[in-house]
Amino acid sequence: MNVDDLRWQWSNHGGVPPRLVDETLERGGLGALVEATRVREDWFCVAGAVRGLCAAGEFGQAWAVVEPFTATGWQPAVRTGADVLWRWGRVDQALELARPAGPQEHAFETWRDYAEMLVRAGQLDDAIGVLGPHLRDPRALDALVEMTAGLGCDERVLELLAPIAADFRRDPEQDDLRALWAVLPAQARVLERAGRTDQAIQLLGADVAARRYGVLNTVEFYAELLARCGRIEELGNLADTHRHSAVHPYVRALESLGRTEEAEAYLRGLIAAGLPGWYESMLMELLIRQGRFDDAIKAAEHTFDDLYDSNLLQGALILLADQAQHDKAIGLTQGRSPEFLAENEAYWLRSNRWWLMGEAGRAREAIAEIEALPTDEVEDREVTIAWLLAQDARVEEAITLLHSLPGKRAATDLAELLIRQGRFTEAITAIPDVATQREEERGARAKQHESASPDNGHVYDDPWAAPNTAPLE
């Protein structure tokens, strides 16, 4: 068992991708996943098989699948194995497996996982004791707050947080204290769930007024707290003075109360005033959520030919597609300025158009457009055509085409089609094993290194990170 391979899979979604494992489980392919764990050291197949076996009450078999991986000491495997043992009723074994054995590469994760297992075993005091020495790590603060929710120990947690919060508030700019900013929203969360909402608002409001900010702006947490507590007037005042962080929570709070006209007028006022911010985007999203598609397009269309980040065209396409307004979205891909097309058509606009056409039942029209273009002008040409064939219910044609194509992208799309046909073992086999994927990645990196130059365009560190042309969703 190669721990380096396991780490690579975890970081790169290598092996069988998690989403395909999930779909395999959802469609009844548990047996194929279990079989895959016997023939390939594929972590996501293992995790999926364990999940499915535990759901079926087959804890002994789940342990047999994961136990060889726990023996490596790799923390995600240890965490999964301890969970299986706990569900199996072998609590002492679960605690023993989860207990950190000594210095670890990722020490915090081991202590956090052990503390969580102690909580599940009903040993709350011991869990708090495990995390106590690490509470000046923001991750430990979050873990403490999360794992103690609903356990009736909020006052004890507040006692642990109080001195840390006091230190940060005393000198938030001091280098060795700056990382403790997370204690402010953590303290407010515990006060809120303990029923001390007014105190939470008072403390966090004072922090905002004093500009006690951390890596993430404290204003965001304060705005969300005000929204949850229905303090709309205070939230509106905050949005007037801290637009970047508070306008969006304010608009969503108004909308949730049925005050959409007020939210729309507020955003239109900010836009009319020419204030900097993504207010056109917020307005477009608000109008689309209300089903006012033409109004949403009108609110944002003046940006659709911009060559800079203020362009909202792609966001509009995705939002309209989410609402099954594919033909409206397709219409927006037409009539764009020559300058915009020169910068974007080959890079992303065409691929978005073909995806929308496939979703709209116009796959044959999209294929005709692709086939009318020179082959070298369409990235992932055959993979895109295969996806469109599948959308057109020509699944076997798509499968045959994908079988003939190299690369993980084609293999992944092929596997997804096979899963949807119930051909689970064939689908898993279609995905190259980890060793093959890593070798292909090394080759791609070497090729990129050889060809890289200041003028050669986009170079992707991960050969599978290039924008998808037509995702199989």
What's the burial of 243, exposed, middle or buried (CB within 10 Å: 0-12/13-18/19+)?
middle
Distance of alpha carbon 277 from alpha carbon 270, whole angstroms: 9
pLDDT over threshold 60, residue 390? yes
Q: What is the pLDDT of residue 464?
A: 34
At 81-122, the pLDDT tens digits run 999 999 999 999 999 999 998 655 558 889 999 999 999 999
pLDDT > 50? residue 350? yes
Looking at residue 63, its amino acid is W
| Model confidence at 249: pLDDT above 90 | yes
* Vertex 59: Cα angle to 57 and 64 (nearest 5): 145
For residue 215, the model assigns a pLDDT of 61
| CB distance 261 to 245 below 8 Å | no
The structural domains of the chain, with segments of one domain joined by +, span 380-473
465 pLDDT higher than 90:
no
Give the pLDDT band (50/70/90) at residue 444.
confident
**456 vs 339, 352, 451, 452, 460, CA distance in Å?**
21, 24, 8, 6, 12
Backbone angles phi, psi at 253, to 5 degrees: -65, -45
Distance (Å, whole) CA 310 – CA 176: 38
Q: Does the structure show a pLDDT above 90 at 126?
A: yes
pLDDT exceeds cutoff 70 at 311: yes
> CB of 293 within 8 A of CB of 325?
yes
Q: Give yes or no for residue 458 having a pLDDT over 60.
A: no
Angle between helices 243-256 and 279-289 (to 10 degrees): 10
Token digits of residue 410: 């084609």
Whether the predicted pLDDT of 184 surpasses 50: yes
Torsion angles phi and psi, residue 29, rounded to 5: -100, 30
Furthest C-alpha separation in the chain? 70
End-to-end CA separation in angstroms for the chain: 33
3-state per-residue secondary structure call for the chain? CCHHHHHHHHHHCCCCCHHHHHHHHHCCCHHHHHHHHHHCCCHHHHHHHHHHHHHCCCHHHHHHHHHHHHCCCCHHHHHHHHHHHHHCCCHHHHHHHHCCCCCCCCHHHHHHHHHHHHHHCCCHHHHHHHHHHHCCCHHHHHHHHHHCCCCCCHHHHHHHHHHHHHHHHHCCCCCCCHHHHHHHHHHHHHHHHCCCHHHHHHHHHHHHHCCCCCCCCHHHHHHHHHHHCCCHHHHHHHHHHCHHHHHHHHHHHHHHCCCHHHHHHHHHHHHHCCCCCCHHHHHHHHHHHCCCHHHHHHHHHHHCCCCCCCCCHHHHHHHHHHCCCHHHHHHHCCCCCHHHHHHHHHHHHHHHHHHHHHHCCCHHHHHHHHHCCCHHHCCCHHHHHHHHHHHCCCHHHHHHHHHCCCCHHHHHHHHHHHHHCCCHHHHHHHCCCHHHHHHHHHHHHHHHHHHCCCCCCCCCCCCCCCCCCCCCC
> How much of the chain, in percent, has pLDDT values that exceed 90?
78
pLDDT at position 380 is 92
Query: What is the pLDDT at residue 107?
Result: 80
What pLDDT shows up at residue 103? 57
Which pLDDT band, with edges at 50, 70 and 90, does 467 fall under? very low
* Contact call for residues 319 and 285 (beta carbons, < 8 A): yes
How far apart CA 65 and CA 439 sit, in angstroms, is: 26
Distance separating alpha carbons of residues 84 and 87, to the nearest angstrom:
5
Residues 151-168, mean pLDDT to the nearest whole number: 94
Q: pLDDT digit string (tens) for 284-298?
A: 999 999 999 999 999
Cα within 13 Å of Cα(62), Cβ side:
24
Predicted local confidence at residue 322, as pLDDT: 97
CA angle 252, 256, 261 (to 5 degrees): 75
pLDDT above 80: residue 176:
no
Mean pLDDT computed over 180-202: 94
Whole-number average pLDDT of the chain = 91
Q: What pLDDT, in 10s, does the model give residues 199-247?
A: 999 999 999 999 887 766 789 999 999 999 999 999 999 999 999 899 9
Give me the mean pLDDT over the 384-390 stretch: 98
CA–CA separation, 357 vs 350, rounded Å?
10
| pLDDT more than 70, % of the chain | 93
Q: Which residues of 255-293 are buried (b: 16+ CB within 10 A; e: fewer)?
A: beeeebeebbebbeebeeeeeeebbbbbbbbbbbeeebb
Is 238:223 a contact under the CB 8 Å cutoff?
A: yes
Q: Residue 441: its pLDDT value, please?
A: 87
Give pLDDT, residue 207.
92
Chain-centroid distance of CA 242 in Å reads 27
